Amino acid sequence: MQISLPDDRIRIDGAAEVEVVDGGVRPHRLALAHAHGFPVETAFVEAMTSGVRLVFDTDAAEITVACTPMRLSLAGDMRPATFELLVGERRVSSAVADFGHVVEVDLADESTELTVGGRGDVVLVAEAEGVRTVTIWLPHAAGVEIHSISVPDGAVVLPPPADTRPRWVHYGSSISHCMEADGPSRTWPVIAAAETGHQLTNIGLAGQCHVDQFAARTIRELPADRISLKLGINVINGDTMRARAFSSAVHGFLDTIRDGHPDTPILVISPIICPAAESAPGPTILDDDGRITVPDPDALLDPGMLNAGRLSVGRIRELLAEIVEQRRAIGDDTLHYLDGRELFGEADVADLPDGLHPNGAGYERMGERFAAQPFLTT
């Protein structure tokens, strides 16, 4: 039996919007009503399906997903388009799509080249256990257009039970997008959501967390019982703001979210450890070994430059803590602050292979640590 999407029996969770296209659906993690403001890079990464999943009830022992992925290759390093099937919280099978479109990015000059590919099938083994709820986690490091779901003849596909768990919306950078995680169900936000019983919408946007109003408006319009915002590292990476602009942008971001969520608990999280930029301001670049560094550390360590508003990771932490304190002082007592080093700090740098992004083990540890935070447990 083949079911073309969209179909009421197949629920798509974790997307801000699901676009119906010719021949299928395309999940998005930002609301398309604000797409006029998306830079090209943002449009590409928001369509990556980190945290997005298909949920339905079935007794099928095998499920086929017909799809067209949009894969990313960074300087020849192809990021896998991995699908994972879970029954409850138990990971049953996974498969990697080696077809579809490919966007090749040259890190030297940031040029891109698109190679158009075709659709194909991803086959997931589901084990025959009678009718039960299955979750298919879509690729965290690729975008994907889903055409149909197929099950063997005689199998049933039914709508899943309503998900009544509290809703958690998270916004952040590549360290929340988690392309380096070992699978789409093993990013740190997914791990934390599973351990604490939350429905997750993960707006982690690799390279594109610049406190943009289109992201704030998306969050404002989403249902949410908890909201977390992991801010700052992309601003340093791109050297896109100084202290004055950053503080104002964060206040404006919070103001926009509060328009839709006046009392919802919000947690502002500073960057995890980034050894090269802890004291030196951005921009950051890749050295010959593929590690994050700053162009001229000796010059950029001049305190006068920092005082003039250039941002290091340490300065970002100070500003975020000050912003939260200022807003709490005027009555926003459901706004809180967390130092990102509590999730991934100096003792963890062995799992920070490029000096910026944790590896799979590091992300799993971050998820476990965040799950223990009072923000999700009280």
Report the alpha-carbon distance of residue 128 to residue 123 in Å, rounded.
15
Can you give the pLDDT at residue 109? 67
Residues 199 and 317 in one domain: yes
State the angle between helix axes of 188-196 and 360-371 in degrees (0 to 180), rounded to the nearest 10.
30
Backbone angles phi, psi at 114, to 5 degrees: -100, 130
Cα dihedral sign, 247-357-191-213: positive
Q: 46 to each of 153, 202, 260, how far by Cα in Å?
A: 36, 10, 21
Residues 249 and 316 in one domain: yes
Q: Is 296 exposed, middle or buried (0-12, 13-18, 19+ CB in 10 A)?
A: exposed
Select from 158, 182, 203 the last residue of a domain.
Answer: 158
Can you give the pLDDT at residue 56? 98
State the angle between helix axes of 243-260 and 213-221 in degrees (0 to 180), rounded to the nearest 10.
20
Can you give the pLDDT at residue 316? 97
- Where the chain has pLDDT below 50, the residues are 300
Domain that holds residue 36: 2-158
Report the alpha-carbon distance of residue 77 to residue 229 in Å, rounded.
29
DSSP code, position 342: G
Residues 266 and 372 in one domain: yes
Residues 201 and 350 in one domain: yes
Peptide linkage before 297 cis (omega within 30 of 0): no
Residues 38 and 173 in one domain: no
146-155 confidence digits (pLDDT tens): 999 999 999 9
Beta-strand pair 101-106/62-74: parallel
Select from 158, 193, 224 the last residue of a domain.
Answer: 158
175-198 confidence digits (pLDDT tens): 999 999 999 999 999 999 999 999
Residues 174 and 140 in one domain: no
Residues 128 and 262 in one domain: no
Residues 133 and 215 in one domain: no
CATH of the domain at 58: 2.60.120.260
Separation of CA 341 from chain center: 19
Select from 140, 158, 176 the last residue of a domain.
Answer: 158
Residues 114 and 200 in one domain: no
Cα 164-253-300 angle, rounded to 5 deg: 125
Tally of structural domains, the chain: 2
CATH of the domain at 193: 3.40.50.1110
Residues 369 and 238 in one domain: yes
Residues 282 and 171 in one domain: yes
Cα dihedral sign, 74-78-184-355: negative
Residues 248 and 336 in one domain: yes
